[in-house]
Amino acid sequence: MHYVQGFDRNQMMMTTWDSMVDPESTARLIDEFVDSLKLDDYNVKVLASEGRPPYDPKAMFKLYIYGSENGIGSSRRLAKSCRVNVEVKWMLKGVEPDFRTICTFGKENIDSLKKIFHEFNKRISGAVKWGFTSIDGSKFAASNSKDNNFTRNKLDDRIKWLNGHIEEYLRILDDTDGQEDLEEEPEKLTRELVVERLKEARERLAKYEGYQKFMEEIRQLQMSLTDADAKLMKSKNGFTVAYNPQIVVDSETHLIRDFQMTNQVTDHGLLNSTLEGIREETEGILEAVADRGYESGEDMVKRLENGIIPHVITDDGKDGYEIEIPYEEAAEADVESTEPSELKKALHAGKIPETYRDVLSGMEVAEVRRKVSDYQEAEEPAGSIYGTQEEMMERAKEGYFVRDPERNLVYCPNGEILRQKCVKKNGNIRYANKNACRHCPNRNKCYKGKNEWKEIDFTKDCLEKPCKNWLKAESRKAEEGKGAKGKYHFEKRIIVRFILKPDRKKTAERMCLSEHPFGTIKRAMGFGYFLLKGMRKVTGEFALMCLGYNIKRAKNLLGFEKMMELMAAGNC
């Protein structure tokens, strides 16, 4: 059988490097774009200042951008591409930096990458028509394992477990004193082995207690040992130590216009901060779509005041959001203007700006009575209100949940510690301890709900709450609410009340806009996790991911010739 035959490997060939690269290769776009950059605007740090001349910074940027567009993230794989990839050889003109040089350049110039991402968007902005924006976040795994992440509840469980083991080892040592024949039985613990394990347990206990003390001092709910900025988050695949980057995607082009790197566990309250950069670049009114995770009345008000219409998906059965803001008299408020200052005046004066007629309704100025607390924080530490830690635990055993504001924890009637789980939208702090509740022998006396554990909310003024089922029946009514009530009075206030109705057609498009860029970055480009550590470095790493995605998308959208024209615009 005859087959298609290749060339003779010993045959000499006369050719040019340029002819070996496809005429419409993305490498040519990257080469033209980086060559047109003015590096003085990006504070580029050159690695070598003496001895052998350094590598051209533009060549290094080309290598990084090409790697992001082709799913090559690690410095070792980039170094290999310099040796075997024809397009990389063409871009770098044959130079072959090693992986240490590539890695060091990236870390030293990590802050420049987000600026270069914005410069690329600026180049193509004149050739595309922007629509409304869609915001979403996704979890990207950090360079930190779950074993090297500790929450306060995890430390409580491990410290309790180690204390139990230490007591058991001490008991074994007492029982084995004088039993000389124990060492001859290989299946049993020898005294030397028990002493060694006891030493290890005490060392681990001291380490965990040190972590716990440090977290209480800095008032953090969790701590990561490898990447201090990464947090334990819940995703579709379970819990993982990760970051939660937010992206702003355009509805017309599906390009990523901006992003914000965060380590916040949820998206709640990130709408305002994520859109700040886009607001500065956009004239007129900007519309943004987001899911229910961004629901925050305060954020929505700030967006309306700043000329942004937030289309946040509502709960089933709701047409919109009821919003209240303080009334501020402004006789000269210009409802025709789209300037943020005039929009803010009109809203607080109870007037609907013309540009918001389709989304705002039912605006009225009303006088309401609001409860105001007279509580004043004591000058002494809040935790000393019950004296020592032991005294607070004794009080809890009488049938109360006692909160220690200084350490930010709650003692339950069974002697367990409940740690902060979250802060609710109304400002209340929710405490829970899942593991303790699951194994609590007195669970039925404390909680009979449908969940497997007890969750209890405290306001900042509340230091004690009764456990109703724990207290005796005859004293339950008298004791209920003791310590939780504070002095308060009512005040009359004038407010502006209105309803914000999101556009349902735009919210229906949200999933098709902001979901697929994350899918492309994670699945098609292979960037589902970060290689670098720390908020500053992963911000630059994610900027490369977004730039690689935008290069792919813009080339498909505008074509090669138009892209080459736009990339060369910086040389004009």
Asked if the structure places residue 366 within a domain, the reply is no
Based on the domain organization, do 479 and 392 belong to the same domain? yes
Based on the domain organization, do 348 and 279 belong to the same domain? yes
Asked if the structure places residue 373 within a domain, the reply is no
Identify which of 199, 205, 148, 209 has the alpha carbon closest to the alpha carbon of residue 169.
199
CB atoms within 10 A of CB 267: 22
Based on the domain organization, do 211 and 243 belong to the same domain? no
Asked if the structure places residue 13 within a domain, the reply is no
Q: Which residues of 34-64 are buried (b: 16+ CB within 10 A; e: fewer)?
A: bbbbeeeebebeeeeeeeeebbebbbbbbbb
Based on the domain organization, do 83 and 180 belong to the same domain? no
Based on the domain organization, do 37 and 96 belong to the same domain? yes
Q: State pTM to two decimals.
A: 0.82
Give the total number of structural domains in the chain: 4
| pLDDT attached to residue 182 | 46
- What is the domain range of residue 260? 133-138+235-359+498-524
Rounded to the nearest 10°, the torsion over CA 290, 294, 295, 301 is: -80
Rg (alpha carbons) of the chain, rounded to whole number: 31
Beta pairing, strands 400-404 & 429-432: unpaired
Beta pairing, strands 429-432 & 286-290: unpaired
Q: How far apart are CA 419 and CA 429, in angstroms?
A: 10
Based on the domain organization, do 173 and 205 belong to the same domain? yes
Based on the domain organization, do 150 and 244 belong to the same domain? no
Q: Quick one: CA dihedral 268, 272, 275, 276, positive or negative?
A: negative
Based on the domain organization, do 475 and 542 belong to the same domain? no
Contact criterion met (CB below 8 Å) for 79 and 102: yes
Asked if the structure places residue 42 within a domain, the reply is yes
Contact criterion met (CB below 8 Å) for 133 and 257: yes
Q: Output the CA–CA distances (angstroms, integers) from residue 267 to 116, 244, 261, in the order listed.
A: 26, 8, 11
Under DSSP, is residue 22 helix (H, G, I), strand (E, B) or coil? Answer: coil
Using the 3D structure, point to which of 224, 257, 287 is the last residue of a domain. Answer: 224
DSSP summary character for residue 412: -
Q: How far apart are CA 209 and CA 204, in angstroms?
A: 9
CB atoms within 10 A of CB 330: 16
Based on the domain organization, do 116 and 197 belong to the same domain? no
Q: Output the CA–CA distances (angstroms, integers) from residue 158 to 93, 152, 211, 300, 473, in the order listed.
A: 56, 10, 12, 42, 36
| pLDDT attached to residue 48 | 65
| Token pair belonging to 542 | 């994610």
Based on the domain organization, do 46 and 126 belong to the same domain? yes
SS (H, E, C) 226-257: CCCCCEEEEECCEEEEEECCEEEEECCCCCEE
Q: How far apart are CA 456 and CA 400, in angstroms?
A: 11
Asked if the structure places residue 321 within a domain, the reply is yes
Q: How far apart are CA 169 and CA 186, in angstroms?
A: 18
Asked if the structure places residue 9 within a domain, the reply is no
DSSP summary character for residue 450: S
Based on the domain organization, do 37 and 124 belong to the same domain? yes
**Numbers of helices and strands, H then E, in the chain:** 20, 19
CB atoms within 10 A of CB 279: 16
| pLDDT attached to residue 423 | 78
Asked if the structure places residue 199 within a domain, the reply is yes
Contact criterion met (CB below 8 Å) for 261 and 539: yes
pLDDT tens across the length of the chain (572 residues):
789 988 888 988 889 999 999 999 999 999 999 999 998 888 888 766 667 888 999 999 999 999 999 999 999 999 999 999 999 999 999 999 999 999 999 999 999 999 999 999 999 998 999 999 999 999 999 999 999 999 888 888 899 899 999 999 898 888 776 555 445 444 566 888 888 999 999 999 999 999 988 988 888 888 999 999 999 998 887 889 999 999 999 999 999 999 999 999 888 888 888 998 888 888 888 999 999 888 888 888 988 999 999 999 988 778 889 999 999 887 777 888 888 889 999 999 999 999 999 999 999 999 888 777 665 433 333 334 445 778 888 888 888 888 887 778 888 888 888 888 877 777 788 888 888 887 788 777 777 666 678 888 888 778 888 887 776 533 444 444 444 445 667 888 899 999 999 999 999 888 889 889 999 999 999 999 999 999 999 999 999 999 999 999 999 999 999 999 999 876 65
Based on the domain organization, do 402 and 351 belong to the same domain? no
Asked if the structure places residue 185 within a domain, the reply is yes
